[in-house]
Amino acid sequence: MLDQPATPIRFERLLLTGVAGNLGRELRPRLKAYCRTLRLSHRAPFGEAGPGEEIVIADLADADAMLGLLEGVDAVVHMGGVSTEQPWERILPSNIVGMVNLYEAARRQRVPRIVFASSNHVTGFYRQDQVVSPKDPVRPDGFYGLSKAFGENLAQLYWDRHGIETVSLRIGSSFAAPKDRRMLATWMSFDDTERLIVAALTAPVVGHSIIYGFSDNRTRFWDNTPAAHIGYRPKDSADVFRAEVEARQPVLDRHDPAVIYQGGAFVKQGPGA
């Protein structure tokens, strides 16, 4: 967790969705430092509220519940929804219908900015020997990546039509440590994840911006130059784990799609797999 400045960035009320997910649980204590009240949401009960917190149980697929969830909110950090490759029937209500409900509620409640957890799987079918920027066409690696591409397009629509700002975070691999050699490029530390979200919440003007979420890794698949206005400056690196990871995975199968493509194992899951 980052050392907080003497006068921390303050919001009256921030909303964090998907708080019971892996990244949501990590962000919960971190985001509290930047607001007077942190509203926490998930579709099922997940415990009691702590000091400065309030809990609202809401299903993304329930439009009325989402309208109530966004009442009185200054900004949203949207980590909710399906976060892995799943059958379309599971992705549709949360990642498609739920996104429309979220943005309609934001419009009606006049919420000015959303930080949306998109995914690197929006461009997962680029090869690992390519470097991709947010300006390049999407190449989803499954239904999950496709749903996140929809979310980015929805964010663009609500910026163009309604003036709701969004930073779409194409998150790489946010874990305590990289698990394999692919993650030497895609890994983002929890501290850098916090830095990225705070930058996305506080950059003066973002419109709809797309930025890849990864640490200052020597190996990289992504070029964030078009998103320099966000002001994200990673300070950690997967390279401190490089020797350990390479020893654990000394040989790569160059014919394995998970080695060929940036999406890793996701390219072998989902439709037609």
What amino acid positions are annotated as catalytic residues?
A: 144
Are 120 and 172 in contact, with CB atoms under 8 Å apart?
yes
* 87, two tokens: 């059958």
What whole-number distance in Å separates Cα of residue 50 and Cα of residue 64? 26
Composition of the chain by helix, strand, coil, percent to 5:
40, 20, 40
The DSSP string of 107-135 is HHHT--EEEEE--GGGGTTSBTT--B-TT
Q: What is the dihedral of CA 158, 144, 130, 231, to 10 degrees?
A: 40
Backbone angles phi, psi at 194, to 5 degrees: -60, -45
The DSSP string of 18-35 is -TTSHHHHHHHHHHGGGE
Nearest CA among 132, 158, 157 for reference residue 145: 132
Residues 23-42 as b or e (16 or more Cβ within 10 Å = b): bbebbbebbbbbbebbbbbb
What whole-number distance in Å separates Cα of residue 165 and Cα of residue 232? 17
Are 74 and 36 in contact, with CB atoms under 8 Å apart?
no
